[in-house]
Amino acid sequence: MRVDVTAIKSPLHSLEFTTLRVKDAICDRLREKSGARPSIDTAMPDVRVFAFLTATYCTLYLDTSGDPLFKRGWRFDKGAAPLRENLATGILRLTGWTASTPLYVTRCAAAARSSPKPRRSR
């Protein structure tokens, strides 16, 4: 498990201490329910918890998605990309391009050429 805390206008001065308190509270509750304390691994966590603090509230989020796609290894040839994929997708949508028309890319990296057709995010 890993806990990350962010805050806006929070009266708490130490986010590191807050992170430890949130982690301890979650671990204590899990120990009450299961009888064992969960393992804490900040490098390769099984579960990620995010806490967002404001002046009056603390909201907890449980990450159910896991690592971002670029960390999951779906692309084997990882080169330096001149443009992020989500930005490229946005540019394509602004142009009105559809998958039924050919897409000509004059400056194309080797990694992009290996993909049979552009991926479209939903």
Domain spans of the chain, in order of start: 2-63, 76-113
* Residue 16: pLDDT band with limits 50, 70, 90: very high
| Angle at CA of residue 84, ends 80 and 85, nearest 5° | 115
Which residues sit opposite 3 in a β-bridge? 49
Q: Is the pLDDT of residue 66 over 90?
A: no
- Closest by CA position to 52, among listed 41, 63, 60: 60
Query: In the prediction, which pLDDT does 38 show?
Result: 80
Q: Are strands 2-7 and 58-63 parallel, antiparallel or unpaired?
A: unpaired
Share of residues in the chain with pLDDT > 90 (%): 25
Query: In the prediction, which pLDDT does 52 show?
Result: 94
Query: In the prediction, which pLDDT does 114 show?
Result: 44
Q: Helix or strand or coil: residue 44?
A: coil
What is the distance of C-alpha 67 from the center of its chain?
A: 6
* Residue 32: pLDDT band with limits 50, 70, 90: very high
